[in-house]
Copies of this chain bind each other. A is one copy, B any other.
Amino acid sequence: MSSNNDIDALIEMMAKLPGLGPRSARRAVLHMIRKRALLLAPLSEVMATVAATARECLNCGNVGTSDICDICESETRANGQLCVVEDVADLWALERSGIFKGRYHVLGGTLSALESVGPDELRIPKLLARIDNEAISEVILALNATVDGMTTAHYIADQLDGRVTVTSLAQGVPVGGELDYLDDGTISAALTARKPM
């Protein structure tokens, strides 16, 4: 393509990233080569650092640079609340909101009969162990509102039945959302869960 092996190899690797295809990988690589001193060299260094140090927290599954992540290490986050999410990206999204002050548990996916993912493929045994170890009083199920997400939430709620309070995220109209653009399921959920003003 570029008549140069290293540049072609870089394009090919960039094209494997989610959200990038061959065309956008070529654009990104050309952009990086133009800004090679300011962008390509520092990017390469920070990638090498992350490649060498990144690992999954042995306790919760969050991504960090130590065996136990900062959130699990922090005593101030041990408030008895444990928020269960499917993926590290969901954990980051909740952290950005800044509203949750407890700890997390990353399942690493959802139960799925089609893809034969059972409880042991996820971090569900570890979740059950943490309930006692960390004196958890409330488990907040923050799974995606998909069929697999809901199935997994119900499975976990069954497993925890009676041991701790189990809650889930409220369903309803998104902040800033317009009714006209919402699907029927969301409107019906918001109407069912209506509350006094």
Contacts and interface: CB of A to CB of B under 8 A. Distances in A.
A28 interface: yes
B16 A39 contact: yes
A64 interface: yes
Nearest to A3: B70
* Number of this chain's copies in the complex: 2
Contact of A50 (B7, B50, B69, B87): B7
A30 B64 contact: no
Given A36-B51, A39-B13, A39-B16, A26 B63 contact: no
A1 B48 contact: no
Contact of A7 (B26, B29, B33, B54): B54
Contacts of A96: 1
Interface string A68-95: 0111000000000000000111001001
Given A20-B20, A44-B51, A1 B95 contact: yes
Interface in A1-15: 1-4, 6-7, 9-10, 13-14
Interface string A52-65: 11100000001111
